[in-house]
Amino acid sequence: MLTYLSRFSSCLFSIFFVFIFVYPACALTVASHYFEPSHVVLGDQFSLVLELDVDSENELVISPFELPAESGLEIVNKPVVVLVENKQYRVFFSMQAFNIGNYALPSIHIRQGTQKVNTPTYKLKIHSVKNNSDKPDRIRDIKPPILLPIRWWIHVAWSILGLTFFGAIIWFYFYWYRPIRPAENSVVDKLPHEIAYANLDLIENSNWIDAAQFKTYYTQLSQVVRRYLESRYGLPFMELPTPELVVSLKDIGVTKPIWTQVENFLQRADLVKFSELKPNKVEARQLLVDGRKIIGLTRPLSSSIQRPSIDGQSNI
């Protein structure tokens, strides 16, 4: 009898030893849990972190869990398992909050080999504002705008600089690019060749050549000679292209030496006017000399000049 009792006691002691010392060491358990960050604000992504103690190297299997649609929470990524140290894991469950309030997460089923564990329902609170005061859900007042001191001297200085800059532009334009005013606008009793000579003098005294404004220079020279020929012969030479102008001179009986010089003069002027050709200063000044020569060859003789008077009648 005593023998059976001793054997029974040994079995009970073995079972007790296994449950007390061996089984806990072999069990899959949740050592702790926490939320990261600890203070979750509406719209933030957060993680439920579980720290697990295991007894084997078998793979951890985490059963998927779903959150109710009306919970205001949403799973962002799959669970991430990280080995912290030997037989200790850390599992991250990433979620996002879309509604404020208190929530209870459903139980999570975790298995490793033949061992299983079900987590309890973890509770958390979603806040509307960050916890930066004694009353975490109180919206703090917006601070008024900071008024910086106005430095008037800066505005005055910039205004002076701006006016100086625009004044320089206006001066530069009128000094370098001002058009030649025809002499006939201010003198009404001069003859066509006298007006032409006066306009050529204005062009010669300009600074277009020194400023390399050859297109303007050649254009003005061409217009002075054309305007003179138009007044001299009474034909619309300002509107005619050069070839037709030369033909018109031939038709009215202008001699070949004269219309040849007119043709050469206008062709050289047109070449610069309608292209990007840049002549040299000597050629530019020579064109003005040739313009004077054309006027001198075509001006009427002194005996046939009729000078207009201010009252509209002509003086012989």
- Rounded-to-integer distance, Cα 5 and Cα 270, Å: 135
- Average pLDDT of the residues in 266-281: 92
- pLDDT tens-place string over residues 135-187: 555 556 666 777 667 777 787 888 898 889 888 888 766 655 555 554 444 44
pLDDT of residue 218: 95
| Residue range 125-130: mean pLDDT, rounded | 75
| pLDDT score, position 11 | 56
Identify the weakest region by mean pLDDT among 29-33, 109-113, 308-312. 308-312
Handedness of CA 255, 258, 260, 263 (dihedral sign): negative
* Count of residues in the chain: 316
pLDDT, residue 166, reads: 82
Percentage, residues of the chain above pLDDT 90: 32
Q: Where does the pLDDT of residue 220 fall: very low under 50, low under 70, confident under 90, or very high at 90 and above?
A: very high
What number is the average pLDDT over the span 193-202?
94
Whether the predicted pLDDT of 62 surpasses 60: yes
Percent of residues, the chain, with pLDDT higher than 70: 74
Nearest residue to 267 (alpha-carbon basis) of 242, 248, 238: 242
Q: Domains of the chain (ranges plus CATH)?
A: 28-127 (2.60.120.570), 179-315 (1.20.120)
- DSSP string of the chain? -HHHHHHHHHHHHHHHHIIIIIHHHH--EEEEEEEESSSEETT-EEEEEEEEE-SS-PPEEE------GGGSEEE-S--EEEEEETTEEEEEEEEEE-S-EEEEPPP-EEEETTEEEE----EEEEESS---SSSTTPPPPPPPPP-PPP-HHHHHHHHHHHHHHHHHHHHHHHHHSPPPPPGGGT-SS--HHHHHHHHHHHHHHSSTTTTT-HHHHHHHHHHHHHHHHHHHH-S-TTTS-HHHHHHHHHHTT--HHHHHHHHHHHHHHHHHHTS-----HHHHHHHHHHHHHHHHHHSPPGGG--EE-TTS-EE-
pLDDT for res 113? 76
The predicted pLDDT at position 313 comes to 36
Q: Tokens at residue 312, please?
A: 């509209």
How many whole angstroms separate alpha carbon 204 and alpha carbon 215?
Answer: 15
pLDDT at 315 over 90: no
**pLDDT confidence band for 201 (50 / 70 / 90):** very high
- For the cut 90, the answer to whether the pLDDT of residue 195 exceeds it is yes
Q: What is the β-pairing status of strands 73-75 and 29-36?
A: unpaired
* 132 vs 276, higher pLDDT: 276
pLDDT at 177: 55
Question: DSSP string spanning 142-157?
Answer: PPPPP-PPP-HHHHHH
Least trusted range by pLDDT, from 113-122, 220-229, 255-264: 113-122
Write down the pLDDT at residue 178: 54
